[in-house]
Amino acid sequence: MRTRNSGETVAALGDDLRQMVQKAYCNLDSLAQEVLALNQLYKSIPIEMKCRCVDRECKTVADAVDIIERYEALLGESSQKKTSVRSVSYENYSENKLEMVFGKEVTLPLQAVIPTPCRETDIQEVNEYVEILQKRFQSAHEEARKSLKKSNSYQKRHYDLRAKKRSLHDGQAVWVYEPTRKVGVCHKLTSKWKGPYIVTKKIDDVNYIVKKYPKKPGKVFHIDRLIEYKGNNIPKWFKVTADSSK
């Protein structure tokens, strides 16, 4: 007895799948035609001949017609969306994401069931294929860099609309936004602001080095994560170092 190999098994499964889909579509079409015919028959009945029983049954038919019309509308929208997804030119990614990673279109499981015809341009030498793949990667990465620059400028422009200029000086006490999680401690009930810290150095307009203890190295934080501390519990080590420097 001859056994089927994997290719024959996949082909047989593909044939069964196609037959099931065709049968489902035929059943759906016949059901829709019957419902629409019943709806036309209901509309042709004179008003004086309609009874409660007929109205009740035909109301069910009208609901079925409404459902079928909605289903057909959804099918039309889904097909339009599928075709538009492949044809639209994205602002951030002009290349397909799969081409960005693999340099080509990915072979899907559906192509094992319904194979695509082989073109003469697909048959290439190894060296030629490597050169073409390298060029695809280079062009895709160049487009990605351009889109990243556009998105960075776009985000900066919208960030600057609400940003307010602030500055901190050396020796100023601040709160630091540091939402760290600890095992066994409820994250929602803990404070996200730690401190007070002391500003020890200003790197640029938005980055500062802050320190909580004198013997520990300082940490760099953005000014958006720093808020001025207005309490009286300023670290004593900073007072001692400030007095000694004077």
pLDDT tens digit string along 198-212? 999 999 989 999 998
> Which tokens hold the place of 106?
């990915």
Q: Structure pTM? A: 0.44
The domains found in the chain, sorted by start residue, are 6-102 (no CATH), 173-245 (2.30.30)
pLDDT, tens digit, 9 for 90 and up, residues 67-114 = 556 655 655 555 454 444 444 444 444 456 777 777 777 777 776 666
Give Cβ neighbours of residue 220 (< 8 Å, ≥ 6 apart).
203, 207, 208, 209
pLDDT, tens digit, 9 for 90 and up, residues 130-173 = 888 888 888 888 888 998 999 999 998 888 888 888 899 988 99
Q: What pLDDT is recorded for position 193?
A: 93
